[in-house]
Amino acid sequence: MKYINEINKRKTFAIISHPDAGKTTLTEKFLLFGGAIQTAGAVKSNKIKKHATSDFMEIERQRGISVATSVMSFEYNGHLINLLDTPGHKDFAEDTYRTLTAVDSVILVIDSVNGVEAQTRRLMEVIAMRKTPVIVFINKMDRDGKNRFELLEEIEKELKINLHPSTWPINSGKEFKGVYDLHEKSLVLFTAGTKANDEDVVEITDLTNELLDKKIGDKDAFTLREDVELIDGVYGDLNVDDYLKGETAPVFFGSAVNNFGVKEMLDTFVRIAPTPRPRHTTLRDVKPEEEKFSGFIFKIHANLDPKHRDRIAFLRVCSGRFERNTYYNHVRLHRDFRFSNPYSFLARQKEVIEDAYPGDVVGLYDAGNFKIGDTLTQGEDFYFTGIPTFSPEIFREVVNKDPMKTKQLEKGLMQLTDEGVAQLFTQFGGTKKIIGCVGDLQFEVIQYRLLQEYSASVQMNSLPFYKACWITSKDDKKLQDFIRFKQGNIAEDKDGHLVYLAQSEWFLNTEMQNNPDIEFHFTSEVHK
């Protein structure tokens, strides 16, 4: 238990939301509280603006921002907090899913006006799968939002999670007066247009206290008393264990842009959010307090300078102590590697570090040796499990326009797909290269980067597929028969796993019905 103090100090999490709900604004407020930045407006949004889908300068700019903000570490009240950034654009959702494998908890931001939106639903499925603890922040209370009870009901129903209000709002929009902190038993008053840290907090342990009427008026005091009575009756006290099991999510109301209700949430977060947790591997569960180091790569980022082919691999430390210039076992390659310039992201400054502990994310310069899901250990051979690859939904055939550049193209495709930009399939029994993505924008990025970084000019032809799913069967003969009959729809992924490409939902359902011995998988774990 040598490193237990270091482990107990750390909280590693991500903020997730549908674009525009306020993730960037909330991140900025956290960094202000942590002293990691001094002024508002310092955190650049990593959103790719809607109109910019063909503006490649914009994509490059965003890539720059997204390296810089991949991890933001700061200290708050004696805790070391690692905040992992997730891309806002839906076409890069896979990147977000993978980042979620590297965190121990999440904060979900919901826009009080729009309620639960499409992207949130999908993200929550991944979170539920992993039973990740969630805290919900209902943002933009300064705007006329939905009825708060109805909103809670909607969130519970849509996201299939039990909620537990930790603060309760007094009105919304122009009438928004603040929140009552149900845990601290205090009234936090809101004044529109105030600057950061300007919350006016009044302790009111007993809601019958007349001070409440004085502060917010008789009518709102009456409503608040009624609401709180109802909430106490329905929800009772927060059971922190239920939160840690991913079964109950505490809810906070506020306004990120006004820095209102944020501190209450941050204080609760550091009080209850999990410290680095044990993780499953192909061999056994690995506890963070184990002496020997282990970790895995969850994200790879190419260098922005095309003259330098090196990339940055993001390593999440899972156990023991990671040390600079020390040899570690790269499990997939059966080779030892050491890193002379590993860096961390404390206060958003990239700096070379001597060591790192469970929960930390380390940036490693990589000359092409890493793939997403790779594991580093201090000797043992195992892989961390639960890093999913999702079935893509849009497909293009890659056609080489310049035969002289075949080698570069192959290399480019391998490297870009190692980075997780898209998935690469090869036609079964043939050579046709097929790229599968979840969003159109990714094809444009690939085409552009192949040309810029590998001088490979390609054409992308649409393919009439609707979904790719991995196929397996306990009955090898049935699998072989299926492959033979469906040859035009079969491909292999980069690891040689068989994939069925369905033209439509109807085809997919029909094949699933007609072939009960074949299993169709919609996610493939990098390591099982």
Shortest CA distance to 435 belongs to which of 468, 405, 407, 396?
A: 396
178 sits near ligand G4P (criterion: CB under 6 A): no
DSSP 112: T
For ligand G4P, give the closer residue by CB, 25 or 423. Answer: 25
Min. distance of Cβ 113 from ligand G4P in angstroms?
9
- Decide if residue 247 touches ligand G4P (CB under 6 A): no
62 is a contact residue toward ligand G4P (CB under 6 A):
no
Q: Which residues contact 289 (CB under 8 A, 6 or more apart)?
A: 1, 2, 3, 4, 7, 319, 358
Q: Is 108 in the site for ligand G4P (CB under 6 A)?
A: no
| Tokens read off for 525 | 């774990």
Q: How far is the CB of 110 from ligand G4P (least distance, A)?
A: 10
CB of 224 to ligand G4P, least distance (A): 21
Question: Do residues 344 and 356 lie in contact, with contact meaning Cβ atoms separated by under 8 Å?
Answer: yes
CB of 249 to ligand G4P, least distance (A): 18
CB atoms within 10 A of CB 465: 22
Figure out which of the listed residues 12, 25, 96, 172 binds ligand G4P, where binding follows CB under 6 A: 25
Span interacting with ligand G4P, options 59-67, 116-124, 134-142, 393-401, rule CB under 6 A:
134-142
Q: Which of 11, 12, 24, 390 binds ligand G4P (CB under 6 A)?
A: 24
Does 45 engage in binding with ligand G4P (CB under 6 A)? yes
Q: Is position 257 an interface residue for ligand G4P (rule: CB under 6 A)?
A: yes
Q: What minimum distance in Å lies between the beta carbon of 43 and ligand G4P?
A: 9
Question: What is the DSSP secondary-structure string of 343-390?
Answer: EE-BTT--EE-SEE-TT-EEEEEESS---TT-EEESS----B---EEE
Q: What is the rounded CA–CA span in Å between residue 149 and residue 304?
A: 47
DSSP summary character for residue 40? T
- Give the contact letters, 136-175, x = binds to ligand G4P (CB under 6 A), - = no: ---xx-xx--------------------------------
Whole-angstrom Cα distance, residue 386 to residue 311? 24
* Residue with Cβ nearer ligand G4P (255 or 281): 255
Indicate which single residue of 20, 323, 492, 525 sits in contact with ligand G4P (rule: CB under 6 A).
Answer: 20
Angstrom CA distances, 81 to 6, 68, 71, 191, 471, stand at 12, 17, 10, 29, 40
* Beta carbon of residue 45, minimum distance to ligand G4P (angstroms, whole number): 5
For residue 507, how many other CB atoms are within 10 A of its CB?
17
22 binds ligand G4P per the rule CB under 6 A = yes
In the complex, minimum distance from the CB of residue 250 to ligand G4P, in angstroms, rounded to a whole number:
19
Please tell me whether residue 47 binds ligand G4P under the rule CB under 6 A: yes
Which range, of 17-25, 408-416, 422-430, 457-465, touches ligand G4P by CB under 6 A? Answer: 17-25
Burial tier of 449 (Cβ tally within 10 Å: 0-12, 13-18, 19+):
buried
- Residue 478 CB coordination number (10 Å): 14
Q: Quick check: 272 binds ligand G4P (CB under 6 A)?
A: no
CB of 524 to ligand G4P, least distance (A): 29
Residue 19 near ligand G4P by CB under 6 A: yes
- Return the structure tokens found at 351: 């700096």
Cα–Cα distances (Å) from 500 to 186, 189, 453, 475, 517, in that order, read 58, 57, 31, 17, 14
| Residue linked to tokens 């209700």 | 261
Q: CB-wise, 85 or 511, nearer to ligand G4P?
A: 85
- Quickly tell me which residue has 């999913």 as its tokens: 388
**Which one, 24 or 319, has the nearer CB to ligand G4P?**
24
Stretch that binds ligand G4P, among 14-22, 153-161, 318-326, 458-466 (CB under 6 A): 14-22
Which residue's structure tokens are 């529109």?
Answer: 192
Please report, as a single letter, which amino acid is at residue 67: V
10, 23, 29, 527: which one contacts ligand G4P (CB under 6 A)?
A: 23
Q: Is 21 in the site for ligand G4P (CB under 6 A)?
A: yes
| 99 vs 319, beta carbon nearer ligand G4P | 99
Q: Check binding of 261 to ligand G4P (CB under 6 A).
A: no
Q: Which is nearer to ligand G4P, 263 or 371 (CB)?
A: 263
DSSP code string of 428-440: TTS--EEEEESSH
Would you say the C-alpha torsion 51, 54, 55, 56 has a positive or negative sign? positive
Separation of alpha carbons 415 and 373, rounded Å: 14
Q: What distance, in Å, lies between the first and last C-alpha atoms of the chain?
A: 29
Q: Does 87 bind ligand G4P (CB under 6 A)?
A: no
Query: Which residue, 124 or 302, has its beta carbon nearer to ligand G4P?
Result: 124
Secondary structure class of 148 (helix, strand, coil) = helix
Taking CB under 6 A as the binding criterion, the range among 69-77, 93-101, 135-143, 407-415 that sits at the site for ligand G4P is 135-143
Q: Which residue, 17 or 101, has its beta carbon nearer to ligand G4P?
A: 17
Q: Which residues contact 477 (CB under 8 A, 6 or more apart)?
A: none
Site for ligand G4P contains 259 (CB under 6 A): no
Q: Binding residues for ligand G4P, per CB under 6 A?
A: 17, 19-25, 45, 47, 88, 139-140, 142-143, 255-258
